[in-house]
Structure 1
Amino acid sequence: MNWKKVAQIGLPSAAFIGMGVVTTKLYRYGFGRLEEKPTDQTDNSHYHDLYQRAHEWLADQPTEDWWLYDNDPKNRIHALYIPHPQPTQKVVIIAHGYHGSAPTMAAFAKMYQDLGYNVLMPDNRGHGESSGNWVNFGGLDRLDYRDWCLDLVDYLGNDCEIVLFGVSMGGAIVMMMSGEDLPPQVKGIIEDCGYSSLPAQLAYRAKVEFHLPKFPVLPIVNLVNHFVLGFNIDDVDSLAALEKNTRPIFFIHGESDSYVPTTMCLENYRATTAPKELWLVPKADHAESFPIDPVAYQHQVAWFLEKYDL
């Protein structure tokens, strides 16, 4: 037996199989549902205080439980609806981030209520009270959010005005929604620290957290994802969606973001020719633009909403 040839064939094969095993485990780690109660999405101490006060505020609100696909246990999607104390046709849909849930966005819900909006906060698939064992990073969620828009139109009437807002993964979701066929009642989008595409974000995190190369990690992840969730990770693409966007959009990102690189925000901004604004927040890490200065954040959001009559 030619052991040299065996080694030449066997060692690369063994390495590839080993990488496949590692990547499959990483898929479960990165895409699997978090069964623990989700918490706020930053370690910023200012946010913890804000988060606690917001939860106390949320507990006092007359919330309603809404459901999509209520008769389909495998696809049942939950949301919290918070009506404004004064009747209004304006409503914001708030998309949470990775391993978050509707209640983790309570501080933003209060901000938008203060600005005069009804609020709908969905639990993404694989999060909160929604069904699913896997995080899809917007590959499926964006279509659920489109259906939430339709439900809001049915509930509030054809004269309603919808704003889309999301942070981190939620930011990517609302950007990806911009490429969908949305009802005309959707008037504008505000995204905070969303990624440019799922492959780009996975490649960046694999390198930073695990020192793993883009190849063969991403092809193996894509293969597993096809089996588990049924779509190509290349289709989870904010940039491609933004090229189709026609609605005013506000891009917010921390200048010191170490989780979703600030360069991704600049790529997102350049991808759309629609009316657009950009705010890079000094010294803010990932999802910290709001807690660093909530007053300035609300002022910026209010300015955008007023400028585009949203």
Structure 2
Amino acid sequence: MKQLLRVFFSFLAVLTSLGVYFTNRIMYIQKKEDALIIQREKKAGRLNPLRFKHLPKREVFIDSPFGYLLKSIVVEPHQTKRYVIISHGVTENKMNSVKYMNLFLERGFNVVIYDHCRHGESGGKTTSYGYFEKYDLKAIVDWLKADQGSDLFLGIHGESMGASTMLMYAGMLEDGANFYIADCPFSDFRDQLSKILKTEMKLPAKPFLPLAELFLQIREKYSLRDLSPITVIENIHNPILFIHSEKDDYILPAMTKALYEKKKGPKKLYIARNGGHAQSLNENKADYEKVIDQFLEEYVFPVNYLR
């Protein structure tokens, strides 16, 4: 009997160690250093520090419903109530959003860039791939609507995890923007994590995925099944532009195609020919901008769209 108990508790200890290990990998994913992101964007010519410094802007800390602060920069060179919020990807920060910010500034929008929880200058202890982040995005939207008034015209652009966060915000909480642009989102995080286990860690999805899910529920009070934009995409009625690179081998373009197929109402799909994950703008700039303009002209400002 004592031998059986020792075996049982040893097995339980191994399971606990594995559960903690896998959930730590999820919750505390290694981020890129803020200085390296700035250096990378400067070197690529996507960030001009002098131009950025002189843009009319406000730095704002917005309250998250979870008790930390979200660092936001509101860039406002235009006398307009047209705004776009940029939602960056995991391991990045708001300075990665500057390239998208520039695109919308050129088209007459003011822009809000911000750091997700646990990224950049925002608070928060863990990353949840859209579960808590969607509520933070709602806090950003609510703050901007209170700041600008009821005649605000709003778009949201998201990259990677930021795109999935945006879709979950719109599909689960409120269809609160006039249009959305989803660049390389995952359609279901459980499927994405299963792929990462197989391709990067050389592990089968079973039993490791259920184990990670169990410990995530215990530690963070949400399930991997809660991170599924494709289950809520039909709740989004406003226009969505879906973007993905056909060469993306991290989040496969099939995920975006599935989201596009399931979305009802106004929508557009652009599969970029060049670049890997989250590189569609960087490697296809002219085509990316052309598709943005077509989308805005067709679905957002169908008459007399002005840059």
Shorter-normalised TM range: 0.7 to 0.9
1:53-92 alignment runs, 5 A limit: 53-69=47-63, 74-83=67-76, 85-92=77-84
Whether contact under 8 Å (1:24, 1:220) holds in the other structure is: no
Taking the aligned partners of 1:47 and 1:58, their CA distance within structure 2 comes to 11
Whether contact under 8 Å (2:32, 2:92) holds in the other structure is: no
Whether contact under 8 Å (1:34, 1:127) holds in the other structure is: no
Query: In the TM superposition, what is the alpha-carbon distance from 1:10 to its structure 2 partner?
Result: 4.9
SS of equivalent residue, structure 2 residue 242: strand
Whether contact under 8 Å (2:181, 2:242) holds in the other structure is: yes
Identity over the aligned pairs, expressed in percent?
22
Taking the aligned partners of 2:295 and 2:220, their CA distance within structure 1 comes to 36
| Structure-1 residue corresponding to 2:304 | none
Whether contact under 8 Å (1:178, 1:245) holds in the other structure is: yes
1:35-88 Cα distance to aligned partner (Å, 9 max, x none): 6624559xxx9995133x345532332332222227x894222211111x2201
Taking the aligned partners of 2:247 and 2:154, their CA distance within structure 1 comes to 31
1:102-160 Cα distance to aligned partner (Å, 9 max, x none): 11111111111111111111211111111112111000111121221121111111111
* RMSD over aligned Cα atoms: 2.9
| Structure-1 residue corresponding to 2:44 | 49
4+ residue segments displaced more than 4 Å:
13-17, 33-36, 45-48
Q: Are 2:118 and 1:126 equivalent residues in the alignment?
A: yes
SS of equivalent residue, structure 2 residue 172: coil
1:136-285 alignment runs, 5 A limit: 136-182=128-174, 186-285=177-276
Taking the aligned partners of 2:168 and 2:143, their CA distance within structure 1 comes to 19
| Structure-1 residue corresponding to 2:86 | 94
Q: Runs of 5+ in structure 1 lacking a partner?
A: none
Whether contact under 8 Å (2:247, 2:276) holds in the other structure is: yes
Taking the aligned partners of 1:239 and 1:166, their CA distance within structure 2 comes to 16
Q: 1:55 to 1:227 in 2, by over 3 A?
A: farther
Whether contact under 8 Å (2:239, 2:300) holds in the other structure is: no
Taking the aligned partners of 2:159 and 2:211, their CA distance within structure 1 comes to 28
| Structure-2 residue corresponding to 1:135 | 127
Taking the aligned partners of 1:258 and 1:228, their CA distance within structure 2 comes to 30
TM value normalised by structure 2: 0.87
Query: How many aligned positions are there?
Result: 299
SS of equivalent residue, structure 1 residue 110: helix
Q: Runs of 5+ in structure 2 lacking a partner?
A: 302-307
Taking the aligned partners of 2:184 and 2:11, their CA distance within structure 1 comes to 36
| Structure-2 residue corresponding to 1:308 | 299
